[in-house]
Amino acid sequence: MTAIASQPIYKLELFVDTEDAAEIFATALESFVFAAAAFEVLPDIGPWRYEGYIDGLPDHDSLVSTIALASIQAGVKEPDFTCLPLPDKDWVAENQKSFNEIEAGRFFIYPSVYEGIVPSGSWPLKIDAATAFGTGEHATTKGCLMAISDLSKYFKPENPLDLGCGTGILAMGMAKAWRIPVFASDIDPEAVRVTNYNARLNQLQDYVTAVTSAGFRQRALSDRAPYDLIVANILANPLRKMSKDLASRVETGGYIILSGLLNSQETAVLRAYRQQNVTLEKRYRIDGWSALLLRKW
């Protein structure tokens, strides 16, 4: 999840009472962190804990003012927070040690140190813990891979997009499933670098093309629309806000796979997409997280 850095990695932690407040703080703090998560301390009871990881000690005054403004926006009392350095470890190496092979539909995900047998008939993908998000371990990534695997049984896209590609695992999954060119993008240049590296590692460099873009701002993304399949494993709040923009880039009859949302966030996300004539085909729920297979009409 975290990266090797020349300066300490700091963990920012705060607690709020509601999911909506947690999302507001997550959005407000995006400029500080390179990875974050929010989840209930006790499911269905609360409160919600926000954790963000920062490369180096952040500016104290800027952080305090951002939290204060987020509190006003959320309509809650300004929470106490901690921002402490993590132990000095090679976190990527630590993650690689604990990363075991994963099966998701027909996909078989394994680290480069794996010495076992790849199951016959599977779609193997070699990937290590890295400085970008997504090795297949997290429920959201696994749910997306399962959706791609199921979709491949009856649909073959010609122009797919992995929006918010992280390590590129979903872009590679589409390339592996259909042997077609896949476009990928991420707001983080490091994620784009990792995606291109992983594509070469899996001999998929001729199929996967990744660029840096915030949403559809990069002209290369808009020029390639409409897509017949978009996969977006991001977060619930951005997915809701992007519903019109994202749905408008999918052709009629095309598919959308969304993830990065909790089971409790499904209703709000689906409501936003139904307003764009996009309906639910299948849901995948794993460990409290959801992946949604949708179709545009």
Domain CATH code at residue 214: 3.40.50.150
Q: Taking residues 102-128, what's their average pLDDT?
A: 90
**Same domain for 146 and 276:** yes
Q: Could you give the number of structural domains in the chain?
A: 2
Domain that holds residue 209: 141-296
pTM value > 0.75: no
Higher pLDDT: 181 or 44? It is 181
Spatial separation of the C-alpha atoms in residues 22 and 148, rounded to whole Å: 30
Residue at 50 is within a domain: yes
Residue 127: the pLDDT is 87
The most confident of the ranges 22-36, 143-157, 186-200, 227-241 is 143-157
Residue 97: the pLDDT is 52
**Same domain for 158 and 71:** no
Residue at 187 is within a domain: yes
Spatial separation of the C-alpha atoms in residues 156 and 217, rounded to whole Å: 27
**Same domain for 228 and 154:** yes
**Same domain for 184 and 79:** no
Residue at 288 is within a domain: yes
Q: Taking residues 171-186, what's their average pLDDT?
A: 97
Spatial separation of the C-alpha atoms in residues 273 and 190, rounded to whole Å: 30
Residue at 110 is within a domain: no
Residue 88: the pLDDT is 65
Residue 13: the pLDDT is 94
**Same domain for 56 and 151:** no
Q: What's the CATH code of the domain at 60?
A: 3.30.70.100
**Same domain for 149 and 80:** no
The model's pLDDT over 8-42, given as tens digits with 9 standing for 90+, comes to 889 999 999 988 898 899 889 988 987 777 777 76
